[in-house]
Structure 1
Amino acid sequence: MLQLSEIWIYPVKSLGGISLQEAIVTERGLENDRRWLLVDNEGNFLTQRQYPQLAIFQPEIDDDFLTIKYLRNPEKTLKVGINAKNADKKLIVKVWDDSIEAQEVSEEANTWFSELLEMPVKLVVMPEESRREVDKKYALTGEEITSFADAYPFLVIGQSSLNDLNTRLEKPVSMNRFRPNLVFTGGEAYEEEQWFEVQIGKATFWGVKPCARCILTTVDQKTGEKTGKEPLYTLSTYRKAGKRVLFGQNLLVSVLDKIQVGDEITVKSTKKLPQFEIENA
């Protein structure tokens, strides 16, 4: 049996993740997943690819507040309202090739992050009226949207896939290197990359594209430091499609509901994408 074993959200893109026992599935991703973003003065997004230290900013969500702790100095804490935004500070931000409508959260948040990162940055939020469409090449209806995630609203990885990878590594890595939203137990290694229609609890998802991996996987999520070439190098020796290294499956959703750890997963159909269709997300 396939069973949902972990649920993760990453409220601020590229900061630490939060493990949940249940989550509300929305059209742009799990509730509160990657709805906030750090950008530079030009509106370009920041990630651990260039700034691995982002991993040691740990968010928490409690009632109506988003709290962020700086783990190298626990006394450094930022607390903002879930709905906090500056209506006078609207801006266009960039995530890869997408231009997205956003709003600054507050000057306090900008100053807090800028001082700790030692560079000018802004914390922005995606308002409900901002609609970022997914790549129509992989859309189901052409109307699907996502958050500030790299390209798709959900990422699923099987525990069997990580277990197989770790048998090939000198030092095993944790699942958090790959920053999934959904982790499941049971099944064969890498089978999720062929999922097409899948039901988790009462929610229905569609596998649209295996996830192409990058150097972010080489960042230790506990220390915020790069650890060398692994696990990306080993993955490249046996999980390569063209120039892309694959691990995990990107999902869209058609039936919204609440999901919880322990939900049974039913794969209703599979589909293997030709290698030439696999591009970097």
Structure 2
Amino acid sequence: MQIAQLWIYPIKSMRGCSVSSAILTHEGFYLDRRFMLLKVTESKLENMHVTSFPQMCLFHPSIKENTLEITYRPPGSTPSPAETIEIPLDPENFENLDKVDVNMHGSPTTAYNMGEKYNAFLSKCFGFQVVLAFWGFNPRSVLGNLPNRPSNQGPKAQTAITKVLSSLPLIGPMLEDDNTKIAFNDCAPYLVISEPSVADVSTRLPEDVSCDLTKFRSNIVVRTSEPAFSEDFWSELTFSNEAKLLLTGNCGRCASLTVDYETGKNGTGKDGGVFKALMSDRRVDAGVKYSPIFGRYGFVGKGGEGKVVSVGDEVWVSGRNEERTRFYWPGLST
């Protein structure tokens, strides 16, 4: 197989950036999901996700060296008057910024308010007050599916034998798991989909409509001759640089697939029927029995951090499950 596309999403729930190469880290691709937006309400700061705030898809990010350029293109606008702002991808002295508490799916962390310059620009575009939060390298705990853990156990689950082995000076470090933390990703650092599965979805839409794969917000798109949805059973991928991606859980899809990326509204686009089409036969995970499955969550394997993967690289399925895994995350899974 080959890597067909690579995607990084610097600001959670905004459009992604298609890249030719990406660096593997335990928290996800370098620069992925290091910012997120929070709506200011009278009582709290509300997490902003494209499902509830579909206008987030009207912001177009691009990475230019160490700067993130955000261009706002509302419906009917032309490139020339588009509003743009540049955001440092590695903010200096961010520790001196005001701290904000962020809790995603019951997994809390501390982030940093990027300040009035950026908040004012984004607030003007949205029409209400928002805060741009930088993750500040304070990762969140993964509460669900992890490599080498039962699907119904979180990161604290250990057998008595594992606890004893972990206490031994020589063996303990070998068992340490770096895959228990993420940034502003939902449930895992990586998401993998395949081209045949995208093509299958297109056949379910009207004849003149193709499925927009960017709506699936994957990090890695794989080109393969395997049938559609074969990835349901993949447990491990190996890249040509010998880095491994450990696939642990299925991605249950939500109504974000109905967002029209042209208008920034729900249900106005020709491909708005993707979610309904998948509901017919893709509710295949009892852990999210009310959601259709599309794609697999993954974690970088031991020794893979810091390695680079590129579009065109070969990739192999180096592990398969006999049965589909069951998604687990307290408060999210069924």
Give the TM-score of the pair, scaled to structure 1: 0.93
Aligned mates of 2:27, 2:325 — CA distance in 1:
26
Whether 1:4 and 2:6 are equivalent positions in the alignment is: no
User: In 2 relative to 1, CA 81–216 (structure 1 residues): closer, same or farther, beyond 3 Å?
Assistant: same
Larger mean Cα displacement after TM superposition, 2-11 or 36-45: 36-45
Contact 1:86–1:105 under 8 Å retained in 2: no
Whether 1:209 and 2:209 are equivalent positions in the alignment is: no
| Counterpart in the other structure of 2:214 | 176
What is the CA distance between 1:221 and its match in structure 2? Answer: 2.6
| Counterpart in the other structure of 2:47 | 45
What secondary structure does 2:211 align onto?
coil
What secondary structure does 1:40 align onto?
strand
- The amino acid across from 1:66 in the alignment is L
Contact 1:86–1:104 under 8 Å retained in 2: no
Superposed CA deviations along residues 157-195 of structure 1, whole A, max 9, x for unmatched, are: 000001111112113221011111100111221111211
| Counterpart in the other structure of 1:31 | 30
Q: 1:195 aligns with which of 234, 239, 247?
A: 234
- The amino acid across from 2:35 in the alignment is W
What is the CA distance between 1:6 and its match in structure 2? Answer: 0.2
What is the CA distance between 1:101 and its match in structure 2? Answer: 1.1
Alignment of 1:180-259 (within 5 A): 180-186=218-224, 187-202=226-241, 203-227=243-267, 230-241=273-284, 242-254=289-301, 255-256=304-305, 257-259=307-309
What is the CA distance between 1:277 and its match in structure 2? Answer: 4.4
- The amino acid across from 1:177 in the alignment is K
| Counterpart in the other structure of 1:56 | 58
Contact 2:248–2:325 under 8 Å retained in 1: no
Contact 2:97–2:114 under 8 Å retained in 1: no
Superposed CA deviations along residues 237-274 of structure 1, whole A, max 9, x for unmatched, are: 01013222100111111122100000111111111555
Alignment of 1:53-202 (within 5 A): 53-72=55-74, 74-84=81-91, 85=94, 87-128=96-137, 130-140=138-148, 142=155, 143-144=178-179, 145-170=181-206, 171-186=209-224, 187-202=226-241
| Counterpart in the other structure of 2:170 | none
Could you list the structure 1 runs, at least 4 aligned residues long, displaced by more than 6 angstroms after superposition. none
Larger mean Cα displacement after TM superposition, 236-245 or 49-58: 236-245
What is the CA distance between 1:223 and its match in structure 2? Answer: 3.3
Aligned mates of 1:227, 1:49 — CA distance in 2:
11
Aligned mates of 2:327, 2:15 — CA distance in 1:
31
Aligned mates of 1:201, 1:224 — CA distance in 2:
39
Contact 2:107–2:141 under 8 Å retained in 1: no
Aligned mates of 1:38, 1:273 — CA distance in 2:
37
User: What are structure 1's unaligned runs of at least 5 residues?
Assistant: none
Larger mean Cα displacement after TM superposition, 223-232 or 271-280: 271-280
What is the CA distance between 1:60 and its match in structure 2? Answer: 1.3
Number of residue pairs the alignment of both structures matches = 279
What secondary structure does 2:45 align onto?
coil
Sequence identity (%): 27
Contact 2:145–2:327 under 8 Å retained in 1: no
C-alpha root-mean-square deviation of aligned residues, in Å? 1.9
What is the CA distance between 1:9 and its match in structure 2? Answer: 0.8
Larger mean Cα displacement after TM superposition, 7-16 or 214-223: 214-223
User: In 2 relative to 1, CA 272–155 (structure 1 residues): closer, same or farther, beyond 3 Å?
Assistant: farther
Aligned mates of 2:262, 2:222 — CA distance in 1:
22
What is the CA distance between 1:43 and its match in structure 2? Answer: 2.9
Superposed CA deviations along residues 42-84 of structure 1, whole A, max 9, x for unmatched, are: 2331011111110011111112211111012543111121222
Aligned mates of 1:107, 1:17 — CA distance in 2:
24
Give the TM-score of the pair, scaled to structure 2: 0.78
User: In 2 relative to 1, CA 272–211 (structure 1 residues): closer, same or farther, beyond 3 Å?
Assistant: farther
